[in-house]
Amino acid sequence: MKKSEIKIEMPINVKKILSILYFEGCAGYIVGGCVRDSILGLIPNDWDICTNCFPEEMLHIFSSFKIILTGFKHGTVTVVIGGENYEITTYRIDSDYIDGRHPEKVIFTEKLKEDLRRRDFTINAMAYNDRVGLVDHYDGLQDILDKKIRCVGDPLERFEEDYLRMLRGVRFAVQLGYSLEQNTFDAIKKLCRNIANISAERIREELNEILLSREPSRGFRLLNATGLLKYIMPELYICVGFDQRNPYHCKDVFDHTLDVVDNTETDLILRLSALFHDIGKPETFVLDGRYIGRFYGHSIKGAEIAQKVMKRLKYDNKSIAQVMILVQEHMSRYKNLSDKALKRFINRVGQDNINRLFKLQIADVRALASEDEMNIDDILKLKNEVERILNEKQPLSVKDLEIDGYDLIKLGVPEGEQIGVILGELLEIVLENPEANKKDVLMGIVKGRLNL
């Protein structure tokens, strides 16, 4: 593939913006990720545009459209066309970075090459328009062909400008199936401790992208090889090389964990649960009388560690709660449960989470055994029993009862704790006997207890 052969099909509104800029005597190009993705045959999420036109001029040129000025002082004008937002940014040079995250100031330039030089990786430092074709001063196209992630210029300089780029490099490598070019890899290894200066939110988003990639294990092995894992998630780092000393576990905790993650589907909650499911093992490890490794209570400890890590990385409370229950329950292998016990189990895990638990358990077994040795019959049997309960739409929680707190108040029950106690008692009855979940039956039970 040659530069001259590259033809990128752009949305009509993007073409319109480039045409307007050209008509006004200005240059305009699509730039960055949308060029990279288009060359790779992927659908770009965004179409970023760069130009030699200064921000004040853009206000005049695009005055007939709605304009959003967020980012204006950094040279970005957002033009709204057909309800879609398109960011147009003046070529710029970033001055010295004061904190490994933000440039001290932005200097506008009329040279596209200077603008592309400040970007992170060569595959993100290409520009394109239909008149000029592909502009590729830093050989990004060749790196795409070679499947390499390589910094533009000196990798130490690029990473010192923004430490998050180290994590982004790993993320791009795993998403695209590329390797880190040696100098780029070495620079990350040298500067890895500086990832601690990046906000938890930015780190979390990159980790999520790695987890949702086709082969997340490769991403976490790269994080470990570059030294980043130790500073991003020390709780997982101590699992590296941790010998389980158990005949049923031929791999260390880290390698087994990554096998489980790879064996799950691309559901973020499920993959986070897989990542944390055995993270409590190093802290609960003991040798029994036969010098075999045991991990009593590791699922409970793992849930605690998962909560700590996810809070540190600013995950939302619902996600934290879902992951915690999956980690805590991943060792559950219930047999011959009564319907009442099944309902308690469903309530404890959550109806929207229960299938994830079975998928996690199956992935865990697959990571331990060969196809011939793998036995998931107990998991599938429990899954079928749960599905039967759910398909029968049997009442499972207080909200499924045919009466509520307002009905109790009408009977004379004072507002407060007693209402919750009575509803809980009624739920116990209904869990045992679903046929009792009728308003007149439940009201009769309450009246009898209150001597009404």
State the Cα–Cα distance between residues 191 and 183, nearest whole angstrom.
Answer: 12
DSSP characters for 60-107? HHTTTSEEE-TTGGGTEEEEEETTEEEEEEE-EEE--BSSSSSBS-EE
pTM beyond 0.75: yes
pLDDT of residue 267: 97
The residues that bridge with 324 in the sheet, in sequence order, are none
Task: Give the angle subtended at the CA of 430 by the CAs of 428 and 431, to the nearest 5°.
Answer: 65
- Of 163, 213, 171, 220, the closest CA to residue 188 belongs to 163
Task: Give the angle subtended at the CA of 421 by the CAs of 420 and 425, to the nearest 5°.
Answer: 115
State the Cα–Cα distance between residues 358 and 383, nearest whole angstrom.
Answer: 7
Name the phi and psi angles at 37, rounded to 5: -65, -35
323 in Cβ contact with 306 (< 8 Å): yes
The residues that bridge with 103 in the sheet, in sequence order, are 97
State the Cα–Cα distance between residues 93 and 91, nearest whole angstrom.
Answer: 7
Judged on CB neighbours under 10 Å (0-12, 13-18, 19+), 141 is: buried
pLDDT in tens, the chain (452 residues): 788 889 999 999 999 999 999 999 999 999 999 999 999 999 998 999 999 999 999 999 999 999 998 888 889 999 999 889 999 999 988 755 555 555 556 788 889 999 999 999 999 999 999 999 999 999 999 999 999 999 999 999 999 999 999 999 999 999 999 999 999 999 999 999 999 999 999 999 999 999 999 999 999 999 999 999 999 999 999 999 988 887 777 789 999 999 999 999 999 999 999 999 999 999 998 888 787 878 889 999 999 999 999 999 999 999 999 999 999 999 988 888 888 999 999 999 999 999 999 999 999 998 886 554 568 889 999 999 999 999 988 888 888 899 888 888 888 888 888 888 899 899 989 998 888 999 889 988 888 877 65
Element at 356 (helix H, strand E): helix 354-368
pLDDT of residue 450: 72
> Dihedral through CA 14, CA 116, CA 142, CA 174, nearest 10?
-80
The residues that bridge with 68 in the sheet, in sequence order, are 78
Q: Please report the beta strands in 153-299, taking only residues with DSSP state E, as ranges in sequence order.
A: 179-180, 286-287, 293-294
30 in Cβ contact with 129 (< 8 Å): yes
pLDDT of residue 47: 95
pLDDT of residue 220: 98
The amino acid sitting at 92 is: R
State the Cα–Cα distance between residues 195 and 228, nearest whole angstrom.
Answer: 7
Question: What radius of gyration do the chain's Cα atoms show?
Answer: 29
Burial annotation 407-423 (CB, 10 A radius, 16+ → b, else e): bbeeeebeeeeebeebb
- Of 19, 324, 197, the closest CA to residue 315 belongs to 324
Q: Please report the beta strands in 257-382, taking only residues with DSSP state E, as ranges in sequence order.
A: 286-287, 293-294
pLDDT of residue 249: 74
pLDDT of residue 279: 97
Element at 133 (helix H, strand E): strand 133-135
pLDDT of residue 102: 57
- Of 348, 352, 345, 353, the closest CA to residue 385 belongs to 345
Measure Cα distances from 443 to 91, 249, 424, 440 in Å.
73, 55, 14, 5
Structure tokens, 349? 């895990």
Inter-axis angle of helices 354-368 and 268-276, nearest 10? 50
pLDDT of residue 217: 97
Structure tokens, 268? 């973020």
